[in-house]
Amino acid sequence: MLPSAAICEGFGTVMNNRLGQMTLFQDTGGDPRGAASQFADVLTAYGAIGDAACGNPPGLARRKASTAVSLARVAECEPHECDAMYFAGLLHAVGAVGNPAYRKDERLSERLARMESWDTPSMGAQICEHIPALPAQTADIVRWQAECWDGTGYPDQLRWHGIPRPAMLLALADTVVRAADPEEALTAVAMQSGRAFSPDMTRTFTMWFHVSGGEAETAEPPLEALRDVSAASTLALMDAIADRIDKHNGDEGRWRRVERLATASAALLNVDATENERLALAVRLYGAGEIAKSQQSEASFDPLARLGIDDRAAHAVLAAKLVEENPTLGRAAAVLRARSEWYDGTGKPDGLFHRAIPAAAGLLAAAIAYDALGHKDRIDTAAGTQFDPQTVRAVLEAARTRA
Amino acid sequence: MIELPERTRRISPSRLHEILVRHNCASLVDPFMGLPTHLNYLKRHGIACHGGDLLEWFVRVGEGIVVNDLTILRDSEVAEIVEMLPGRIYSLDMFKAWEGVFFSEEQCVYLGVWHDNVRNLRSDGQTGLAILGLWRAFCYWLQKTQNADDMQDVPPSELAWSYIRQTEQWVIANMRRNTVRQTDVLTTVAAQKADALFLCPPARNSFRSADARIWMWEAWWQGNPYFTIEHAYRDSLFGARAADPPSYARAFASVLEHAEAYPVLVVQTTEQRLGDVESLVRNARRKVEILAPHSYEMYLVATN
């Protein structure tokens, strides 16, 4: 049992930690470009989560953004349109996060699921409209990215010149990144001339194909196009992403409950600032690992049983993969990956043992399990096997004090 | 060569839906519905939709994708639309007047065959779906006259088949009564009670520059290649009688007057026409909010 003085002191630190999260994205030495860069990294992660939600291959959003910009240059779009297209490409699938077609708790017929999936672009547009830092046109490009020239697209069934050019260019970029090779993309676009794409756009594509060889170089985010970015707006975006992930996974408010508990427990254990930051990021992102419809929901198995260990490890690995190359969020990757390890070394995916498991990962795992348990104190039975006994004591103390 | 206009009016139903949700509207009347794909979107999101238009083919399509809750077309039924059926007598020369001008001989024959086959369909829902699917094939052909080298040659029946199949995907029920009627604007406004009235009136004298893809399809549906849609507008509220600006303003004001019973009024306009429209709407309603996502897509949301 931890002494009560430690608990009180711990809660003082909890408040500091909560406030301290505001510094998560502030280490830019006052450089506004640094803040924009961190914001862009979070947007990149959001794009990757959107792709995971609708089953797209990893990295598709970034490739689509780069291809869209490359196409836009050949089509002689204005610079502000190119900027908007980059972010629209990055966020093309964020509407899938929370969309009933991809949510776990929905049981829809194939026909209804298809119709719900048609709303992915408009839901994505609504999300973009709530991110004021994005260039003005971004939301509309996302909204109309799946419209077809002949009026058979979705969500709005716009037709002909009613579809803005940047949206159609983004649709072309989508065809490129989904094709197995550039030749296949060329054939697909030619087949769809006058149907999905206007003949003008097809010609633009052909020109781009000959100029670029059908492949676009990776484009860097146009940071100067992001407006009024600050550490607070980046943190607010992270929170919004986490809220949306929980909604998608059918457990609204989960990350906030887990965060309160994990942060309070971390304070009781005097976890250092760096580890606290990693914990703060990981707590917002771990739900992304179970976002794909093919993944079992963690609510569907006992958090203390070995039975679900493979699924939990798969979620941990997937969440870590989504951010491991992200310059701003990558520091949470090790925590995300290790949160399904067991203290006794029998966990997965890497079989880490005792202190090899990052403290933040142990705290996160215990807080998730505690939150998911019907009889909360049952977590005690996993001390020494699944969780570090000290962590379990901290979690129980933190929970008791909060109650 | 036929001229296909650069700019077509854009109705973004997803944006319109966001406006309706914000004002708690569960039903909508659109007396200028045109091609009612936007009403199909709203229906899909649970809004009870009631549309009206002067052109019959728009109304027929509305019966297919707005009124129709269940009826779809099975493969065998699509096959009965897209190809000539043995034992049926076809008027193969029906659209010969368009041959060499807009279409090839083969395409004109198919237009005649499709016309006869669609007229023999069993239900209004199926007829509407087929008309919309075939219209898309027809538009593809017209587009191809301008971009012969850039578009694939697709056999007519295959093209029609794919478009009808695609159209059929949009059929859905919203557990509400939805209607469409072929009538002038004031009749539609008076005929139905709803939470919101959506107005996207034609610009002054716009029927004179009507898109060929619209009037030619009405001619196809009527089975008369010489058919024009001028008669439909001649005596309508926004037709010949509203040719000058004051008459047009009076016509618009009369619609607003008849729309008093609607709690919410949504008027779509453009920046160019905003000045004229806004003053009329402000005369009719106390609160007017302007949403302007683009210069060519602006909404005036008026409430009391």
This complex has an ipTM of 0.94
To test the contact with chain B by mutation, choose from A122, A129, A189 the residue with the greatest count of B C-beta atoms within 10 A, namely A122
B27-30 and B48-53 beta bridge pairing: parallel
**pLDDT value of position B98:** 95
Q: E strands of A102-180, at which residues?
A: none
Q: Do B150 and A191 touch (CB under 8 A)?
A: no
Q: Which of A125, A152, A161 shows the shortest C-beta gap to B166?
A: A152
Q: pLDDT of B246-289, one tens digit each?
A: 888 999 999 999 999 999 999 999 998 898 899 999 999 999 99
In CATH terms, the superfamily for domain A32-225 is Hypothetical protein af1432 (1.10.3210.10)
In order of their start, the domains of chain B are: 1-56+179-212+237-304 (3.40.50.150)
Q: Which of B256, B261, B254 is nearest to B284 (CA)?
A: B256
The answer to whether B150 contacts A202, with C-beta atoms less than 8 Å apart, is yes
C-beta separation of B172 from B43 below 8 A: yes
Q: Which residues of B touch A158 (CB under 8 A)?
A: 10, 12
Predicted confidence at residue B1, as pLDDT, reads 61
Alpha helix segments (H runs only) across A134-271? 138-143, 165-178, 182-191, 199-212, 231-248, 254-268
Q: Which residues from A are below 8 Å from B167, CB to CB?
A: 152
pLDDT value, residue B273 = 87
CB contact under 8 A, B37 and A199: no
Interface test with B, best of A156, A161, A193 (most B CBs within 10 A): A156
What residue of B is the nearest CA neighbor of A187?
A: B152
- Burial label for A225, CB within 10 Å (0-12, 13-18, 19+), is buried
For B224-250, write each residue's pLDDT tens digit: 999 988 777 776 788 767 778 888 899
CB proximity B172 to A under 8 Å? yes
Q: What is the CATH number of domain A4-23+249-402?
A: 1.10.3210.10
Ranges of residues in chain A with a pLDDT under 70 are: 1-23, 26-33, 403
Between the two ends of chain A, the Cα-to-Cα distance in Å is: 17
Q: Is the Cβ–Cβ distance between B252 and B201 less than 8 Å?
A: yes
CB pairs under 8 A between A and B: 74
Q: Do B136 and A150 touch (CB under 8 A)?
A: yes
pLDDT digits 0-9 by tens, B105-157:
999 999 999 999 999 998 999 999 999 999 999 999 999 999 999 999 999 99
Partner-chain contact A158 B40, CB within 8 Å: no
Query: Which residues in chain A are contacts of B151 at CB distance < 8 A?
Result: 193-194, 199
Q: What is the pLDDT of residue B207?
A: 64
Chain-chain contact of B293 with A140 (C-beta, under 8 angstroms): yes
Q: Is B217 on the interface with A (CB under 8 A)?
A: no
Query: Residues in chain A, how many?
Result: 403
Q: Round to whole Å and give the CA distance between B226 and B98.
A: 9
Nearest Cα of chain A lies from the Cα of B222 at a distance, in angstroms, of 23
How near does any CA of chain B get to the CA of A19, in Å? 34
Does B167 have pLDDT greater than 50?
yes
Question: What's the whole-number average pLDDT of chain B?
Answer: 92
> Which H or E run includes B111?
helix B105-119
Whole-angstrom Cα distance, residue A381 to residue A306?
13
In which band, very low, low, confident or very high, does the pLDDT at B2 lie, cut at 50, 70 and 90?
A: low
* pLDDT given at position A376: 82
Question: Phi and psi of A44, rounded to 5°?
Answer: -60, -40
Closest to B212 (Cα-Cα) out of B1, B47, B24: B1
- How close are the terminal C-alpha atoms of chain B, in Å? 50
B111 at the A interface (CB within 8 A)? no
Per domain, the residue ranges of chain A are 4-23+249-402, 32-225
CA neighbor of A143 nearest in space, from A163, A160, A159, A161: A163
Task: Identify whether the C-beta of residue A254 lies closer than 8 Å to the C-beta of residue A367.
Answer: no
By the 10 Å C-beta count (0-12 exposed, 13-18 middle, 19+ buried), B263 is classed as middle
The DSSP letter of residue B199 is E
pLDDT of amino acid A116: 95
Q: Which single residue is written with the structure tokens 């890497």?
A: A350
Residue of A nearest to B151 (CA): A193
**pLDDT of A392:** 97
Question: From the list B41, B150, B167, which residue is nearest A203 (CB)?
Answer: B150
C-alpha distances (whole Å) from A179 to each of A70, A183, A187, B227 are 17, 8, 10, 46
State whether B150 and A199 contact (CB < 8 Å).
Answer: yes
Mean pLDDT computed over B178-193:
95
Q: Which of B22, B150, B158, B294 to mutate to test the interface with A (most CBs of A within 10 A)?
A: B150
* Residue pointed to by tokens 């453009």: B270
